[in-house]
Amino acid sequence: MAVVDATRTVAASHPVLTPLSTSWASVSPHTLERFEHFIQTKASPMMWDPVVVTILNQPGFAVFAVLAFLLYAIGHKPRRRSQRAAAGQ
């Protein structure tokens, strides 16, 4: 998504940031509709508009960058002090 936005930015000579919803709708509009239906029926209709729509309106590359960072932070196993001390010697 970042490459597509960068290419469009160069071609247009001004910043182009494609929202995640636009990218998703162009690739698979049916799954976007199913996702909306799922959130509104299983979670809460009030969760769709303020929460999910806000996320979907952000640039796609930024949403996935934040998601990647969060998953990295959750899965990162910090080194023990003894391992850090041994590595420094």
Question: Is the CB of residue 21 less than 8 Å from the CB of residue 60?
Answer: no
Rounded Cα distance between 24 and 36, Å, is 12
Nearest to 55, CA basis, from 41, 42, 71, 66 = 66
Range of the domain at 8: 2-88
What is the number of domains present in the chain? 1
Question: Is the CB of residue 5 less than 8 Å from the CB of residue 59?
Answer: yes
pLDDT band at 76 (very low <50, low <70, confident <90, very high): confident
pLDDT band at 87 (very low <50, low <70, confident <90, very high): low
pLDDT, tens digit, for every residue of 20-74?
999 999 999 999 999 999 999 998 888 888 899 999 999 999 999 999 999 999 9
